[in-house]
Structure 1
Amino acid sequence: MAKTGTQTISRRALLKAVATGGVMSTLGAGAAAVAATGAVEWVSSTRGAPWRRPARAPTVGTFENFLKMDVMLLEDTRFQTIEGFGACFNEVGWLALQRLPSAARDAVMRELFAPGAGLNLNLCRLPIGANDFARSWYSYNETAGDFAMDHFDLSRDDQMQVPFIRAAQRQRPDLKLWASPWSPPTWMKQNGHYAMVPSFPWAPPNGLKPQQVGASGKDMFIQEARYFEAYALYFRKFVEGYAQRGIKISAVMPQNEFNSAQPFPSCCWTPEGLARFIPYLGRQMDDVGVELFFGTLERGDPAMFEAVLAQPEAARYIKGIGVQWAGRRAIPFIHQAHPDLRVYQSEQECGDGKNDWRFARYTWTLMKDFLRAGASAYLYWNIATPNGGVSTWGWAQNALLCVDMATGRHTVNPDFHVFKHLSHYVRPGAQRIDTLSISGFENLLAFRNPDGRIVVIVHNDMNEPQPLRIAIGTGKLVSATLPADSFNTLVI
């Protein structure tokens, strides 16, 4: 079946068949005769009671009246294959987790990464050099003019990033990692500074001078072959250095948010500038067996990506695309034009540091939108922060969990539970399947795992309990009453 879009004709046919009672010919003549067997696993989360198994189990029956269902699962209409779920390894995250007693920290890492334990994180991101949740700004080579990378030094990462990743690997040895820079070394940039714009009024000053201010839509990386060659070698040294530490990098992206001038480490590129650099990077990555994805795209303009693909020397190296923030508006167009291209949602919107139920509801909306658009991977942003979540440049942001740096105690945030409703149950290799609303209930996602089980994630956004009846093409009808304002996962 097609990987994206919906089967419009078959969906209309099904709706007509349901309305006329002729759905049996659509599903198969023997569907209603199939006996309903096996229990349905159900987990529900509300603001005051996360991750509970309701006392009253769902009922499982067979189709009796096709007009008395809310949603039909169309198992034969399958979309993208899911590669996994993850988050980003940041220095401040490990700084926070180090405040936990060792037993508590081990338990947290198990809940985050161990297969079958909690979030099941299996596909994560790390920065190449500093990002806005580094303790301070740095690159691996600030020796100006060192085009041979003789002074490349990865030792800074041995303090925080490497121990953080190794702790995750102890729980999940097959953890998959990809990486991208927020900023190149400063001597490779037009303005000679990590940042692109001055700090906001409420944030600590970043030292950017007026003549160093950059802008979106301009190439702030020096557009010369020797700089491209040196920067591609910089990526290679990073990949090889991590491999020497027992950490394999599976993919890289050339720049985080390449069209955004930020008051923290950042670097703007034009699509044309990236198209010039990607062949240099692609050749180096091919030599070390690492995939190259385009990204990360943070704008809802697919033309930025198409401009790069239009250059054959760049296009031949691109195996996928990383998309975040407003880039979700570009995914449907990219997916339609390039249905076999892998799409990673590369960073969830970061929130405001309140870590409240309101934002958890928005997290669900983001996950639903990206996955419906065709993303094969979904990544949260901060794994952990100190309470308040303030970045080193002054923006309070959300995290899966927060640590009280004075007491060494941690809090699991609402986003964690909402994220877990998908990542705990949807396995790598699962395929998203189509759903057909009969009664107007569309606030859900459905997947078929490699073992054949169906996972349905549903948000009841009403302020009262909501009955839900899910019909499956095998003849099953699963019924449950969802608690008010709740997230639910049913495994069938």
Structure 2
Amino acid sequence: MSAPRWVVSTADAVWQTREASALTGPSAMPDVVVAVDDPQQEIEGFGACFNELGWQALGLLTESERTGILRELFAPGVGASFGICRMPIGANDFSRDWYSYDETPGDLGLAHFDLSHDDDTLVPFIRAARTHRPDLVLWASPWSPPTWMKRNGHYAGALPHPFFGDVDNGLRPDQVGAEGTDMFRVDEEHLAAYAAYFGRFVDGYAERGIRVSMVMPQNEFNSAQVFPSCTWTPSGLSAFLRHLGPEMAARGVEVFLGTLERADDRLIEDVLADPEAAAVVSGVGLQWAGKGAVAAVHRLHPELRIYQSEQECGDGRNDWRHARYAWRLMKHFLGNGTNAYQYWNIALQEGGRSRWGWTQNSLVVVDPDTRTFRYTPDYLVLKHVSAFVAPGARVLPTWCVAGHDNQLVFRNPDGSLVVVLHNELDEVMPISLLLGAEALSLELPAASFSTVVIAP
């Protein structure tokens, strides 16, 4: 058997190839046992979200640089090999400002629906990515319905907070939303109009040559935010799904339930308790505090696919500290039944500040003064997984035998094994893994990430 391929990254030396010894028969108790005969959930892919501020940041670079970045992120076998990405329906928290596709009050027939806003940013952004990945899968969710469909008549649900700096969203105190309420006008005519709004969105992108394959009804339906947001109750979501399902089914578009940003799987259960709503749903989207619900959702509903829909976004520092936390998030979600893993911002300008004052991390940072860019530690850690784990791969469970529990293992459709390991220590760490009847032995560099690919 040929020696495995081994790629190592540290803060000082990224993506270095090292020589790994060939697998041998076990000669001592291993540190980790890999259950090669017990494959778990199938991996659909990895990706991020197309946001307006990302395209704006990339627009500061030359066309050649922008092309190179998108090739690195999306072209199969080149870099991160992203194959599945998220996009907003209307404005999100990293759009240039608030907008929807129909801000004409009372327009239940959507006579004034207009998708042209996206032609400046999201459409060219997605088209540029698809140049390198024509089969890129896209799914979408809104952050807020049109303001006239909401009880408070405003895109936001929370007053500005000093945490966000000098921000004005124009919300009055009497317009503040609250978790556990429906900010949407939950009546049949508004629900039907909003489902049709989704349909017009899908159709509009199809006319532009861009297929949306799945939608979720609301980003973080629990959270009233200073930026575009809308709270829903489980009963309100159930009522909407009864309208949304037929609209999407007519277009061959799947519906997932999400995104859930609470460690409470009962919020999912309460929606699925409605048989008509449950019949519509083929998956669940979980993010942020939703990590506390992922294991229960997977256990109770093995028939539903699970997307980690937005990795926690950091603080704009884009440092190794957060990259290590990002690894722990990946390990948790992928170890508990998740089928797809989504980063958030593809690119931002230095500091990562949004229109609404929040500073966040990104995969690529662009310096607006020097018109230069860099890939971040978050990107490197994600690439250590996504570059090697192919769609259709299966997660393999692992057991810690002798003190190490910091790995993910996958079997690709071609039979190759992908072992991703993190050494958190500031010293070299020897480790051995038992893979069936053979053992892999390595010396992990201090404070490093490693990916080992073992041919079938």
**TM range, smaller chain:** over 0.9
Instruction: Tell me by how many angstroms 1:102 deviates.
Output: 0.8
Compared CA separation, residues 101 and 190, structure 1 to 2 (3 A): same
Matched, 1:440 2:403: yes
Q: How does 1:212-227 map to 2 (within 5 A)?
A: 212-227=175-190
Contact 1:343 1:376 in 2 (8 A): yes
* SS of 2:64 mapped into structure 1: helix
Partner deviation per Cα, 1:344-395 (whole Å, 9 max, x = no partner) = 0000001100000000000000000011111100000000000000011001
2-structure distance, mates of 1:62, 1:215:
59
2-structure distance, mates of 1:220, 1:144:
16
Matched, 1:83 2:50: no
1-structure distance, mates of 2:390, 2:24:
27
The structure having more radius of gyration, on CA atoms, is: 1
Return 90-99 or 70-79, whichever deviates more: 70-79
Instruction: Tell me by how many angstroms 1:468 deviates.
Output: 1.4
Partner deviation per Cα, 1:314-358 (whole Å, 9 max, x = no partner) = 110000000000111111111111112100000000110000000
Partner deviation per Cα, 1:163-213 (whole Å, 9 max, x = no partner) = 000000000000000000000000000000000011112231111011111
Q: How many pairs were matched up? A: 452
Q: How does 1:181-330 map to 2 (within 5 A)?
A: 181-201=142-162, 202-330=165-293
Partner deviation per Cα, 1:387-413 (whole Å, 9 max, x = no partner) = 000011001100001101122210111
* SS of 1:38 mapped into structure 2: coil
Aligned to 1:163: 124
Q: How does 1:107-146 map to 2 (within 5 A)?
A: 107-146=68-107
Aligned letter for 1:154? L
1-structure distance, mates of 2:363, 2:48:
9
Aligned letter for 2:69? V
2-structure distance, mates of 1:379, 1:71:
27
Correspondent of 2:351 among 385, 388, 396:
388
Aligned to 1:148: 109
Aligned to 2:367: 404
Aligned letter for 2:61? L
* SS of 2:111 mapped into structure 1: coil
Contact 2:255 2:281 in 1 (8 A): yes
Aligned letter for 2:2? G
Matched, 1:469 2:432: yes
Contact 1:203 1:395 in 2 (8 A): no
Aligned to 1:48: 12
Partner deviation per Cα, 1:95-121 (whole Å, 9 max, x = no partner) = 000111111110000001000010111
Return 406-415 or 182-191, whichever deviates more: 406-415
Matched, 1:450 2:409: no
Contact 2:32 2:402 in 1 (8 A): yes
Partner deviation per Cα, 1:207-261 (whole Å, 9 max, x = no partner) = 1011111111110000110000100000000000000101000000000000001
Instruction: Tell me by how many angstroms 1:480 deviates.
Output: 1.4
Contact 2:47 2:82 in 1 (8 A): yes
Compared CA separation, residues 351 and 64, structure 1 to 2 (3 A): closer
1-structure distance, mates of 2:128, 2:325:
30
Partner deviation per Cα, 1:269-310 (whole Å, 9 max, x = no partner) = 011110111010001000111000000000010110000100
2-structure distance, mates of 1:171, 1:235:
27
Contact 1:387 1:404 in 2 (8 A): yes
Instruction: Tell me by how many angstroms 1:64 deviates.
Output: 4.4
Matched, 1:173 2:173: no
Aligned to 1:374: 337
Contact 2:406 2:423 in 1 (8 A): yes
Contact 2:26 2:434 in 1 (8 A): no
List runs of 5+ in structure 1 lacking aligned partners: 1-36
Correspondent of 1:419 among 360, 376, 382:
382
Contact 2:84 2:136 in 1 (8 A): yes
2-structure distance, mates of 1:64, 1:272:
55
Aligned to 1:490: 452
Aligned to 2:21: 59
Aligned to 1:39: 3
Aligned to 2:442: 480
Instruction: Tell me by how many angstroms 1:469 deviates.
Output: 1.5
Q: TM-score, normalised by structure 1?
A: 0.91
Partner deviation per Cα, 1:35-82 (whole Å, 9 max, x = no partner) = xx112000111111111113xx11124224242x22222111111100
Contact 1:257 1:298 in 2 (8 A): yes
Q: TM-score, normalised by structure 2?
A: 0.98
Contact 2:305 2:338 in 1 (8 A): yes
2-structure distance, mates of 1:416, 1:321:
25
2-structure distance, mates of 1:98, 1:273:
40
CA RMSD of aligned residues (A): 0.9
Contact 2:85 2:342 in 1 (8 A): yes
Work out the percentage of aligned pairs sharing the same amino acid: 55
* SS of 2:451 mapped into structure 1: strand
2-structure distance, mates of 1:64, 1:295:
45
Compared CA separation, residues 203 and 80, structure 1 to 2 (3 A): farther
Contact 2:142 2:218 in 1 (8 A): yes
Aligned letter for 1:39? A
Aligned letter for 1:199? P
2-structure distance, mates of 1:282, 1:74:
39
